Chain A
Amino acid sequence: MNPFSSGLPGLMQDAGLVLGLVISLAIGSYLIRDNFLARLGQYILVGAGLGYTAVLVWGNVLWPRLFAPLLADPMVWLSVPESALLHRWLPLILGLLMWGGGAELLRQPPSGLGGRYILRILAAVPAAILIGVGLGVGVSGAVQGTLLPQLTAAALPPQAEVSTAGGGLPAAAQATWLVRLITLVITGGVLIHLQFGREVGGSRDAPALQPSSDIPTSEVSGQGRAPRYRMLLYSPLRVWEGIGRRALWLAAGILFARLALARFSLALARLDYFLFEVPRSELWQLIWAAVRGAGS
């Protein structure tokens, strides 16, 4: 049986629509103030979500991939020795350790060394494996999937301009040298601002071109030569840093605007759901007819 081909009957779908409307309104009443209905809706949401997740994990992972094979063949290492320990018993042991530690943490801490204390320590083993694997995978993935490909793509010359079926240019061909120059200027400016912004940008705490303590007093006081080379160095740096600072804020504004746009879409879809989808459902029309009949 394919789950995609077994949709819910129409009445159940309508019930879902109406139930969604009720819970949405209950949680939405939180905008007015915190109240019982809002909390009830939140608890239903969280409880149903966690319960659904538990069922999903059991049905998709724990039973078909761990418990069912173990129950079918507990001595699996005799038949498939190289992978059984890693794929079956080790995850079970690590999972049990994690569950034991989690259950122990729900209780009051132990007063001294003992079995409960050892449970807590042993739970650190699967936690450490989880964190270590996650970090290792994340770092290696960032290098192989983002850093190297992006550097390679940036180092390559622009591709030849090839017209597409739609009449436009492929995205890589649009990356002209001017765009690359602007990218370089903005990236460098942002880096300068983030790293040396207080020194070259002229903040209130550290004004621009203030002589630092490592400059000889003779240069600062004018007895020696004026730090012209510092002027020549700092002036373009200050301009560059200013560009980077403004670009940083501009980018933050654009990102926030996109975020607001996305949330706006969600709000509109929810309103559309309230105003158009729910009233069209058969169950809602049935309820509405019953209410009108009772009223008349």
Chain B
Amino acid sequence: MATSDCPHCGYSNPFDAAFCGHCGTALARRQPPEEPDDLPADRSSVSAEDKVDKPPGPEEEKRAVSPPNRPREPINARTWPQDVGEEDAQEAEKPQAAGVQETEADNDEPEPLLGGLTGLLDLADTQAFTPASAANPDPVSNRPPTLSGDLTLDEEERRQLRQLFTEELPQEAAGRLEEPPEDRAQTEGISRLPRRPWLEAVLFIGLVGALLWGAEPTRRGPGQHALPGLELAHQQLESLAPNSLVLVNWAYDPATAGEMDFVAQPVVEHLLRKEAKLIVISQLPGGPAAARRVIARAEDTLRRPSRAQISANQAIEGGFLPGGAASLPLLGAAPAQALPVDPRWVGLRDRFDIAGLADSGPALSLVVAAASEDVRRWLEQVQPYHGAPVVAVTSAVADPSLRPYLDSGQLAGLVSGWDGGGAYIQRSERTRSVAEQARSSRLRGGLNWGIGILIAAILLGNLVGLTERRMP
């Protein structure tokens, strides 16, 4: 079977594979290895065995540049720069017939939208799925395939090509000629490691099991050293006077709500309990919807019997603020002008509140963000203008990047991760419902057990890998 080496780890994958079976790297669309110069150019005289064992010649490549069912390069695919250059050069030399065939192949199997490591390292962003022409305004490289021309491949050649591309290519033709011998041996050793579905199954079952049975409530919460900004954040919110204007930047959407809701809700509840006036803006399209859900849930929690009563309309929707970092300085300098308020939603009284931002500025800024970049942008673009203290509510991964801002005093408080959310609830001395307690202990216990299982799976996988590498 024809193979394609992973540019990241060297693992030999089937040629039609979209991802590396060893490391998960998205495999770029690559040309089959070129035929050595000493081979005859006339492929018609080559025997059937040669057709199986040797890569296609240049003529065949020109006539059929893409094998049947070969996937297109996925979005965000990692490729070698030199391969890309060669590919571009070869793409430029394609005749029109090749363009026709490729167009047909593209129509048969469009590229997957969630390619590469999207969703794992970088969460899926629907804004990234824009037409290629918009991202690449170069009219030369962006030229669409020509729709005219004759298809010169007959059915027999198609069959032979299909057979050729489904056979295993020899390792020498797989493009490892540049590697030194020791690296080649190492790469071959790694490439012999097969994918271990049982390892993935163990991890998945461990996750589910940890969620179901690992919900042991923790006896004591995290210490002061683990969450240094939590106490400061609580003090900042506790010191707010009633009807203080709080500018909230809601910088996460449903993609990260699984973690962020748990952190954001106790802080929002605290603000509502202090009768602060929240003006919520978001630079993410899904941000206002996520904010509505969490604020409605917090209001619902506080409105229950034996809880504090909140006044109506404590939260004002500032709406969606497009423009990225470029729109933030105006928000800092003249917030009443920058707020993209939909007039149908904002009553007269709320408009006065928003206008009050221009006079005195917000009493506090709350940045609820899954990524540290959003907090950093706020500290760089907004806080220097209005000078209000900033409290950040973030995910666990953003915490280390924001510690320097907390140490320098630019951040007035920091609540991060599930631990931070749980500790904030404890610090607020709020009585939680049975369902809340069950969910909290379930998630935190599941996380702790899941991490242990993940570490065990990694160690086990490494042990298996080392063992198999030592085998002859």
Contact B443 A64 (CB under 8 A): no
Contacts of B443 in A (CB 8 A): 265, 268-269, 272
- B419-452 contacts to A (CB < 8 Å): 427, 439, 442-443, 446-447, 450-451
CB distance from B442 to the nearest CB of A (A): 6
Q: Which of B35-43, B168-176, B399-407, B460-468 touches A?
A: B399-407
User: Do residues B224 and A61 form an inter-chain contact, with CB atoms below 8 A?
Assistant: no
Known A7-B296, A133-B326, A172-B409; contact A272-B211, beta-carbon cutoff 8 A: yes
The answer to whether A260 has its CB under 8 Å from any CB of chain B is: yes
Are B376 and A258 closer than 8 Å at their CB atoms?
A: no
Q: Are the CB atoms of B299 and A4 closer together than 8 Å?
A: yes
Query: How many Å from the CB of A183 to the closest CB on chain B?
Result: 10
Is residue B396 within 8 Å, beta carbon to beta carbon, of the partner chain? yes
* Contacting pair B450 A268 (CB below 8 A): yes
- Residue with the highest number of chain B CB atoms closer than 10 Å, among A42, A259, A260, A266: A266
Q: How far is the CA of A102 from the CA of B131 in the complex (A)?
A: 10
* List of B residues within 8 angstroms of A138 by Cβ: 325
**Pairwise interchain contact A109-B143, C-beta atoms closer than 8 A:** yes
Contacts of A141 in B (CB 8 A): 325, 329, 377, 380-381
Among candidates A56, A60, A108, A263, residue contacting B144 with C-beta atoms closer than 8 Å: A108
Q: Given known contacts A4-B299, A167-B224, A272-B211, is B342 in contact with A50 (CB within 8 Å)?
A: no
The 8 A CB mask of A126-163 against B (1 = contact, 0 = none) is 01001001100110011011100110111000000000
Majority SS at the chain B contact face: helix
Selected from A3, A27, A57, the residue in CB contact (under 8 A) with B322 is: A57
- The distance in angstroms between the C-alpha atoms of A181 and B376, with both chains bound, is 25
A interface footprint on B129-151 (CB within 8 Å = 1, 0 otherwise): 10101100101101110000000
* Stretch in contact with the other chain, from B94-102, B226-234, B352-360: B226-234
0 or 1 for each of B308-348: is its CB under 8 Å from A? (1 = yes): 00001101110111101110110000000000111111010
A221 contacts chain B at the CB level, 8 A cutoff: no
Chain B contact residue count (CB 8 A cutoff): 97
Q: Mark A31-44, 1 if CB is under 8 A from B, else 0.
A: 00010001100110
Contacting pair A50 B126 (CB below 8 A) = yes
Chain A 240-276 against B: per-residue CB contact (8 Å), 1 yes, 0 no?
A: 0000000000000011001111111111111111011
Residue among A56, A168, A263, A272 with the highest chain B CB neighbour number at 10 A: A56
In the assembly, what is the distance between CA of A275 and CA of B208, in Å?
9
Q: Are A5 and B312 in contact (CB under 8 A)?
A: yes
Contact of A2 with B313 in the complex, beta carbons under 8 Å: yes
> CA separation between A74 and B53, bound complex, in Å?
73
Q: Is B61 an interface residue (CB 8 A)?
A: no
Residues of chain B within 8 A (CB-CB) of A49 are 126-127, 285-286
How many chain A residues touch B (CB < 8 A): the figure is: 81
Q: Are B376 and A146 in contact (CB under 8 A)?
A: yes
Chain A: minimal CB distance from B19 (Å)? 10
Residues of B within 8 A of A145 (CB): 376, 379-381, 383-384, 410
Q: Which residues on the B side are within 8 Å of A175 (C-beta)?
A: 407
**A171 and B133 within 8 A (CB):** no
Residues of A within 8 A of B232 (CB): 164, 170-171
Contact B207 A267, beta carbon cutoff 8 Å: yes
Shortest CB-to-CB span from B349 to chain A, Å, is 11
State whether B409 touches A273 (Cβ < 8 A). Answer: no
Q: Among the listed A46, A105, A259, A267, which residue makes an inter-chain contact with B137, where contact means beta carbons less than 8 Å apart?
A: A105
The reply to whether A265 and B259 form a contact with Cβ atoms under 8 Å apart is yes
The segment from B4-12, B112-120, B361-369 that touches chain A is: B112-120
CA–CA, A276 and B417, complex, Å: 21
If A5-B312, A39-B113, A109-B142 are given as contacts, then 13 extra A-B residue pairs at C-beta distance below 8 Å, sorted by A number, are A4-B299, A5-B296, A30-B114, A45-B113, A56-B320, A64-B343, A65-B340, A101-B137, A149-B408, A165-B231, A170-B232, A271-B446, A272-B442
Interface residues in chain B, defined as those with a beta carbon under 8 Å from any beta carbon in chain A: 18, 110, 112-114, 120-121, 124, 126-127, 129, 131, 133-134, 137, 139-140, 142-144, 207-208, 210-212, 224-225, 228-229, 231-232, 235, 256-259, 262, 285-286, 288, 292, 295-296, 299, 312-313, 315-317, 319-322, 324-326, 328-329, 340-345, 347, 350, 370, 376-377, 379-381, 383-384, 395-397, 399-400, 403-404, 406-410, 417-418, 427, 439, 442-443, 446-447, 450-451, 454
Please, could you name 13 A-B residue pairs with CB atoms under 8 Å apart, sorted by A?
A5-B299, A38-B112, A46-B113, A49-B127, A50-B126, A105-B133, A106-B131, A141-B381, A145-B379, A149-B410, A264-B450, A268-B211, A271-B208
Please give the residue numbers on chain A whose beta carbons come within 8 Å of chain B beta carbons, in ascending order.
1-5, 7, 27, 30, 34, 38-39, 42-43, 45-46, 49-50, 52-53, 56-57, 59-61, 64-65, 101-102, 105-106, 108-109, 120, 123, 127, 130, 133-134, 137-138, 141-142, 144-146, 149-150, 152-154, 164-172, 174-175, 254-255, 258-273, 275-276
